[in-house]
Homo-oligomer: A and B are copies of this chain.
Amino acid sequence: MYDDIVKDLDPLFNPKSVAHIGATNNRNKWGFSTITSLIHTYKGPIYPVNSHEVDIQGLKVFKKVTDIPGPVDMAVFTIPAERVANAMEDCVQKGVKAAVIISAGFAETGPEGQKLQDEVLAIARGGNVRFIGPNCMGYWSASSSVGAFMLPLLVRNGPLAFVSQGGNVGAAVVVAGYERGVGFRHYVSCGCAADIQIEDYIEYFGKDPNVKVILTYIEGINDGQKFIDVVSKVTPNKPVIMLKPGKFEAAAAAIKSHSGALAGSYEVYDAVCKKLGILRVDNPEEMLDVALGLLLQPLPKGPNVAIITPGGSYGVLCTDACEQEKLNVVKLPDKTIAELDKIFPPRWSRGNPVDPAGDRNFIAYLTAPERLLALDTVDALIFMGFGGFSLFGNLIAQQREV
């Protein structure tokens, strides 16, 4: 049991039918927005479950999951916490294989909520129901186009996969990606992660050939050793990015009341990330930038960098940023300087960064890169300042693959 993550999670990411326990016509409830998300994304059978409704957006409503005539692969929960256990029992009886429990009021609220959560977990485990949450915003997956999400989520299909212990930060990153044209194969708001753990999602994403880069927002991990065991098999083949708050005490307290997780020692996370090759980022914007860089660029062979820019100040800021990141802005050999002397005006910087100081010969700008990339001493080229003022992310053009 629980040893084949693909078999376990496929009913979640590729459900053949979906029940929504707590779907409603009441626009003031999350069950309204979630059923709306489902209807607008999922093309298979959807069964709303609600004891008071008859018809929801044209779909026939069932009083209980067990009343649904056909098989149900996956169930969405938006009912109050105290009713989740009973409904989970119905799911077990019905043979539901996977669920997403959006309902809050579990481990994040304290001991009583933790007890409720343990009860739900025991029922699900007993019936082989794997579930996301509780206390989450839902998930979106392109593999079967299923969006069981509280908010109206604009998301593109694409090569990223993201498990986030924060629904709002996760949604903001996904929507920011949408605005930039970046797509997600899967996005999971994992909440308290009572059953399916963060490392389980990472393992599943690692095995999905459509996923190229894995993003994580992690407040706390339940089983550190299992995390290390699982993730160490993923990172050699697929980049994993981690945003982990909780450096300071007050944030650790906020984490406890948000996802019910223990923040853990920041230093331990640092060490683990270093060992596993997980890329740490400091904020959501940087997470998306790094993901984009990994998607769009080959990894450079080493830390030696050449910079070419039409703006001296870009070159200065970029040099500072490179050194901050321990990249080496290499000295150009005399031969290369002599070559560039032929194509740039005499006022050019005659060094790295290569700054032709306002030269209007754009052919020169376009021929200089190949001369720099031909050097054995240059692992990567930053060709920047031809648009916005971002230093990295979309402006790094790199040459040599590892």
Contact = CB atoms under 8 A, between A and B. Distances in A.
Interface of A: 28-30, 81, 104-105, 108-109, 135, 137, 150, 164-170, 172-173, 176, 217, 219, 245-251, 253-255, 257-259, 283-285, 309-317, 319-324, 329, 346-347, 349-351, 353, 355, 357-358, 360, 385, 388-391
Contacts of A164: 313
5 A-B pairs closest in CB distance: A166-B313, A168-B311, A258-B312, A248-B323, A172-B389
Contact of A255 (B30, B245, B316): B316
A284 B389 contact: yes
B388 A254 contact: no
B357 A323 contact: no
B104 A357 contact: yes
Contacts of A385: 168
Given A313-B217, A388-B172, A360 B28 contact: yes
Given A166-B312, A168-B314, A173-B389, A329 B285 contact: no
Contacts of A283: 317, 321, 391
A358 B312 contact: no
Contacts of A254: 312, 315-316, 319, 329, 349, 351, 353, 355
5 contacts: A166-B313, A169-B313, A245-B319, A254-B315, A257-B349
